[in-house]
Amino acid sequence: KQLYVDKSVLAIGSKVFHKYIQDETINSIEIIDVSPNEMIELLRFLYPQFHCTINNQNVTILLILAYRFEIDFLSSACRTFILFYLSKIEIINMYKNSNKKLIKQEDGTCLSISSIIDILCIWFREFLYINDTICCEAILNKISYCNISSIIQSNDFKNLEDNIKWRIFQVRAKYLENQYLSIV
């Protein structure tokens, strides 16, 4: 699908697009690994007439695309959203002496922690690539509460590189060690 955009809007918002647009011989850019809907979501944030909001449904793709296309204001906004989201969720035990962990969200609803493992893995990978230790630590803190079987069953965990998986396993092991030492 072809999308028609204003070159000046792209150039102002994105360092990557700015480089492409400087080459006057380029009239179009083919982006094959981004869906049209994802690209439209990104473009909405570049055009000033749209009043867009980062939310749980769009933050991950916006984070990935903002870093890929070097859209600094958007990557910063996604980072802030994610850190705020992580600070507002609370990990609770479903039952005393149970390994069943829940995430209590800001609105009071509770979800199984395994329901967000995929997204936490994606966020961790993205922030690890850009060497953002603050975000990585915040994400790993939440992942450490997940039981290992839930982590391993995560499709997005399976797709991670081995060195990233190792970091997650290392944090989970440290969490278990601390739990054991607090009991003894």
Q: What's the chain look like in SS3?
A: CCCCCCHHHHHHHCHHHHHHHHCCCCCCCCCCCCCHHHHHHHHHHHCCCCCCCCCCCCHHHHHHHHHHCCCHHHHHHHHHHHHHHHHHCEEEECCCCCCCEEEECCCCCEEEHHHHHHHHHHHHHHHHHCCCHHHHHHHHHHHCCCCHHHHHHCHHHHCCCHHHHHHHHHHHHHHHHHHHHHHC
Every domain of the chain and the residues it spans: 1-85, 101-184
Q: What pLDDT tens digit does each residue of the chain (184 aa) get?
A: 777 777 777 777 888 878 777 777 777 777 788 898 998 898 898 887 778 899 989 999 999 999 999 999 999 999 999 999 999 887 776 555 556 677 787 778 888 777 788 999 999 999 999 999 999 999 999 998 888 888 998 899 999 999 999 999 999 999 889 888 877 6
Homologous superfamily, domain 1-85: Potassium Channel Kv1.1; Chain A (3.30.710.10)
Q: Is this prediction's pTM over 0.75?
A: yes
